[in-house]
Chains A and B, each alone.
Chain A
Amino acid sequence: MHDFVMPIGPQSPAVKEPILLKLALEGEEVRKVRMVTGYTHRGVEYLLEGKNPDQALYVASRICGICSISHERAYVRTVENILGYDAPERVKALRTVLFELERMQSHLLWAGMMMHEIGLETLFDYFWREREKVLDCFEKITGGRVHHNINKIRTLRYDMEKEDPDFILQRIKEVKKKAREYYDDCVKEEVVISRLKNVGIIPKNMAESWGLTGPIARASGIDVDTRKNDPYDWYNKVKFKTVVGKEGDSFERFKVRMKEVLESASIVEQVLSNLPEEKIPVASLSRVDGEGYGRVEAPRGELFYYLRFKNNLIERAKVRTPSFSYMKLAEELLQGVVVGDVPVILASLDPCFSCLERILVEKNGKVSELKENEFRRRYACSQ
Chain B
Amino acid sequence: MQSVMLFLWVLSPAAAVLLEGFYRKTIARMQSRKGPPVVQPFYDLRKLWNKRRVKTKNDWFFLISPFFYTVTVLIGLLIVPFHILSFEYDFIFLLYITVLSSAFYVLAGISSDSPYGMLASMREMRLMVIYETALAAALLSFVVYSGTLTISGVKPLSVIYLLPSAVALIAVIFVENKVTQFDTGAAESEILPGVSTEYSGKALFFLDLGEMMKRFLFLSLVSALFAGDNMLFFAVSFVILFMAMAYSDATTPRFTLHVTTWYVLAALILAVIDLLRVIWVSGWA
Residues of A within 8 A of B (CB): 4-7, 12-14, 25, 27-28, 115-122, 125-126, 129, 189, 191-192, 194-195, 338-343
Contacts and interface: CB of A to CB of B under 8 A. Distances in A.
B144 interface: no
B130 to A, nearest CB: 16
A117 B32 contact: no
Q: B interface, how many residues as a size bin?
A: 20 to 34
Contacts of B32: 125-126, 129
Contact of B252 (A27, A191, A341): A191
B253 A191 contact: yes
Contacts of B27: 121
Given A119-B188, A343-B189, 13 more contacts: A28-B123, A28-B258, A118-B254, A120-B180, A120-B252, A125-B31, A125-B33, A126-B32, A191-B181, A195-B256, A339-B119, A339-B191, A340-B257
B14 to A, nearest CB: 27
Contact of A5 (B31, B33, B115): B115
Contacts of B183: 119
B259 interface: yes
B30 interface: yes
B148 interface: no
Which of A4, A5, A191 is the most central at the interface, judged by chain B CB atoms within 10 Å of its CB?
A191
Contacts of B116: 6
B254 A119 contact: yes
A195 B119 contact: no
27 contacts: A4-B115, A4-B118, A6-B115, A6-B116, A7-B115, A12-B192, A13-B192, A14-B190, A25-B119, A27-B122, A28-B257, A117-B189, A119-B253, A120-B252, A121-B27, A121-B250, A122-B31, A122-B250, A125-B32, A191-B253, A194-B255, A195-B254, A339-B190, A339-B191, A340-B187, A341-B256, A343-B189
Nearest to A339: B190
Which of A5, A13, A338 is the most central at the interface, judged by chain B CB atoms within 10 Å of its CB?
A13
A337 B8 CA distance: 49
A119 B189 contact: yes
B30 A340 contact: no
Interface string B4-45: 000000000000000000000001001111000000000000
Contacts of A194: 255, 259
A189 B33 CA distance: 23
A207 B43 CA distance: 51
Contacts of A191: 181, 252-253, 255
Nearest to A342: B190
B230 interface: no
B119 to A, nearest CB: 6
Contacts of B56: none
Contacts of A25: 119
B116 to A, nearest CB: 7
B31 to A, nearest CB: 5
Which of A6, A27, A115 is the most central at the interface, judged by chain B CB atoms within 10 Å of its CB?
A6
Contacts of A129: 32
Interface of B: 27, 30-33, 115-116, 118-119, 122-123, 180-181, 183-184, 187-192, 250-259
A117 B254 CA distance: 9
B189 A14 contact: yes
Contacts of A115: 253
A119 B251 CA distance: 9
Nearest to B188: A13
B180 A119 contact: yes
A308 B116 CA distance: 48
Given A5-B115, A7-B115, A340 B190 contact: yes
B110 to A, nearest CB: 12
A343 B190 contact: yes
Nearest to B251: A122
Closest 6 CB pairs of A and B: A119-B254, A340-B256, A118-B253, A120-B253, A6-B115, A343-B189
A12 B115 CA distance: 13
B92 to A, nearest CB: 33
A159 to B, nearest CB: 36
A14 B119 CA distance: 15
B190 A192 contact: no
B234 to A, nearest CB: 30
Contact of B258 (A118, A125, A126, A338): A338
A209 B257 CA distance: 33
A340 B184 contact: yes
B260 to A, nearest CB: 9
Contact of A13 (B31, B180, B189): B189
Nearest to B183: A119
Contacts of B188: 13, 119
B247 to A, nearest CB: 10
Contacts of A12: 192
A341 B253 CA distance: 13
Contacts of A119: 180-181, 183, 187-189, 252-254
Contacts of B184: 340
Nearest to A14: B189
A189 B252 CA distance: 9
B182 to A, nearest CB: 10
Given A4-B115, A125-B33, A338 B189 contact: no
